[in-house]
Amino acid sequence: MFHDIFSNLTKPYKSKNKIKPIIIADIHEKDSMILAELKNNQSIILEIMPLKIGDYLIGNTIIERKTTQDFISSMLNKRLIEQLHHMNNYKNKILIIEGKLEDLYPTDSKLNPNALRGFILSIINNHETKIIFTTNYQDTSQYLITLAKQQIKLKTEISLHSRIPKTIKEQKRYILEAFPNIGPKKAKYLLKKFKTLNQVFNANEKELRGVLKNRSGNFKNLLDS
């Protein structure tokens, strides 16, 4: 039976102020309608500065925006190929093509539609760049805002050791996370499998291996030492 080590903790946990995501826009975009939309949005922080690559930078994602006409012209003069090459300096790359989809295939154009399709596939496959088609500047701005909000969401569960646990369930996780190499996910899986702390601690190395893998031996040695 475990002593309630949390009984004397009376101070309530105060959550931090909500962090606003940051969107960095290239200074050349300062007169665009997109920036007007971003400036009016209170849920993000907009910063305008010179960007050597791309039009927008959100976290580790670089974004190049083209209207349908810009896309076709930059394809023909091969400027887009150069821009895509420079974008390789970033982990994540997105090309936004803004405008009506039918404008990519005008009836009076001499451009072969299959050549255009091949170029789009080459961007995705050879340049490993995602493509988003937006209808207008408002649609583009909403994609940028949504992406920015996703960037600040935690991709892993929050460790309880960053705050005071309140519930019994959280307290049990707190105890397990105090062990080396046991983070929030492993603590959660251990309790899901064994239900109680006693059963976790009394489990043999083979039973623990399903969650702790090759760390199960270290865990048992620590308990027995």
Ranges of each domain in the chain: 22-152, 160-224
Residue 66: burial class (beta carbons within 10 Å; 0-12, 13-18, 19+) = buried
Residue 106 has what pLDDT? 73
Query: In what side-by-side order are the strands of the sheet with 56-58?
Result: 45-49, 22-26, 56-58, 61-67, 92-98, 130-134
Residue 205 has what pLDDT? 87
DSSP character string of 20-88: PPEEEEEGGGTTSHHHHHHHT-TTSEEEEE--SS-SEEETTEEEEEEEHHHHHHHHHTTHHHHHHHHGG
Residue 152 has what pLDDT? 74
Domains 22-152 and 160-224 share a fold: no
The answer to whether 90 and 60 are in contact (CB under 8 A) is yes
Strand residue runs (E) in 45-191: 45-49, 56-58, 61-67, 92-98, 130-134
pLDDT (tens, 9 = 90+) of the chain, 225 residues, equals 455 555 554 444 444 557 889 999 999 988 889 999 999 999 999 999 999 899 999 988 999 999 999 999 999 899 999 999 999 888 899 999 999 888 888 777 778 888 889 999 999 999 999 999 999 999 999 999 999 998 876 444 555 555 556 688 888 888 888 888 788 888 888 998 898 998 888 888 888 888 898 888 888 888 777
How many Å separate Cα 62 from the centre of its chain?
Answer: 13
Out of 3.40.50.1370, 3.40.50.10130, 2.30.31.70, 3.30.360.10, which CATH number does the structure's domain 22-152 have?
Answer: 3.40.50.10130
Residue 12 has what pLDDT? 44
Residue 163 has what pLDDT? 58
**What is this structure's pTM?**
0.60
Superfamily in which the 160-224 domain is placed by CATH: 5' to 3' exonuclease, C-terminal subdomain (1.10.150.20)
105: number of CA atoms within 13 Å, CB side?
9
